């Protein structure tokens, strides 16, 4: 009798846990779809509208208009390296690229602190209405990092498969219990639990953005320094392989060309701020220009 009660209790706990996961997944998928497709303002954009050097959409550029006035329109989205932390707006690589290209409008949709899910939100809610001919995503390794203190975790229910999402849920729970505030970090960078699920979440986000854009998305990976290191190479290979498997256009060889042109010189804003200065942005713009010819 006791054995039967024990089995029943174990089954009850298992069934309860399974139902809880199902409820969480349904809530995640519903809430994630709402958030991703325009039911709230972006995590950062609402804070930028009041800044004098930001435009009508909350980005660091001139005002955007629906009507095209050039032969080609290219939107660039990315994190703080695209936004241009520590440098003037005209020194960012999107604006230097625009200066170097004839009859081409370059729209800078870069924002500091974003990850790949924020990128998808920007594509859905800010970029598509301008109907660009191409969208370039400047990917940096920490675009794989998702903050457990914001709603990104719930976004992942919308872009991960069920098995990936359940794996991520358990990893997220362990991570929160440790109170370190981050989830889905690649193991080689931080040694955390959900590297594979986090990378899947990021890659699936990029795949969804490419679908929304009708295949017009092109990705390049921003190097973290002027010389290659094992962590960079690991992430570069992992991300490029995943993107190519999803039939997403990738500017392969970008990092290697950056290393050659930088010639072992780290063009950082300062010793404590490792964003690229005007010269580093010039190199990125010139490499992009070669891909766009």
> What integer is the mean pLDDT of 73-78?
98
Give the closest residue to 75 by CA, choosing from 124, 37, 39.
124
What CATH number does residue 52 fall under? 3.40.50.1110
Give me the domain span that covers residue 267: 2-292
Lowest mean pLDDT: which of 30-39, 140-149, 198-207, 249-258?
30-39
Report the pLDDT value the prediction gives residue 192, as an integer from 0 to 100: 37
Residue 233 Cα distances to 161, 173, 201, 204, angstroms: 27, 29, 20, 21
Q: What is the mean pLDDT of residues 60-87?
A: 96
Please tell me the total count of domains within the chain: 1
| Whole-number CA gyration radius for the chain | 21
How far is residue 156's CA from residue 169's CA, in Å, rounded to a whole number?
Answer: 10
Q: Which of 20-34, 65-79, 269-283 has the lowest mean pLDDT?
A: 20-34
Phi (first) and psi of residue 138, to 5 degrees: -85, 100
CB 165 within 8 A of CB 28: yes
pLDDT (tens digit per residue) in 252-277: 999 999 999 999 999 999 999 999 99
Q: Mean pLDDT, to the nearest integer, of 231-249?
A: 88
């Amino acid at each position: 009798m006791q054995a039967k009660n024990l089995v029943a209790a174990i089954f009850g706990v298992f069934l309860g846990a399974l139902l809880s996961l199902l409820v969480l997944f349904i809530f995640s998928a519903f809430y994630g779809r709402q958030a991703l497709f325009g039911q709230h303002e972006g995590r950062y954009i609402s804070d930028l509208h009041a800044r004098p050097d930001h435009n009508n959409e909350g980005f660091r550029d001139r005002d955007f208009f629906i009507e095209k006035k050039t032969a080609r329109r290219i939107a660039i989205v990315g994190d703080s390296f695209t936004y241009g932390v520590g440098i003037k707006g005209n020194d960012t690589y999107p604006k230097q690229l625009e200066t170097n290209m004839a009859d081409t409008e370059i729209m800078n949709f870069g924002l500091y602190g974003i990850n790949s899910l924020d990128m998808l939100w920007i594509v859905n809610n800010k970029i598509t209405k301008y109907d660009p001919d191409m969208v370039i995503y400047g990917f940096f390794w920490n675009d794989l990092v998702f903050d457990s203190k914001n709603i990104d975790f719930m976004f992942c229910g919308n872009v991960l498969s069920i098995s990936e999402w359940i794996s991520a849920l358990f990893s997220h729970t362990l991570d929160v219990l440790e109170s370190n505030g981050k989830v889905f970090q690649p193991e080689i960078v931080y040694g955390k639990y959900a590297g594979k699920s986090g990378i899947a979440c990021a890659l699936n986000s990029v795949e969804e953005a490419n679908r929304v854009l009708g295949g017009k998305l092109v990705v390049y990976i921003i190097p973290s320094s002027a010389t290659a290191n094992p962590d960079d190479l690991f992430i570069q290979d992992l991300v490029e392989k995943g993107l190519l498997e999803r039939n997403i256009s990738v500017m392969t060889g970008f990092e290697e060309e950056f290393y050659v042109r930088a010639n072992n010189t780290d063009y950082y804003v300062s010793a404590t701020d490792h964003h690229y200065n005007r010269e580093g942005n010039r190199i990125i713009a010139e490499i992009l220009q070669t891909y766009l010819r």
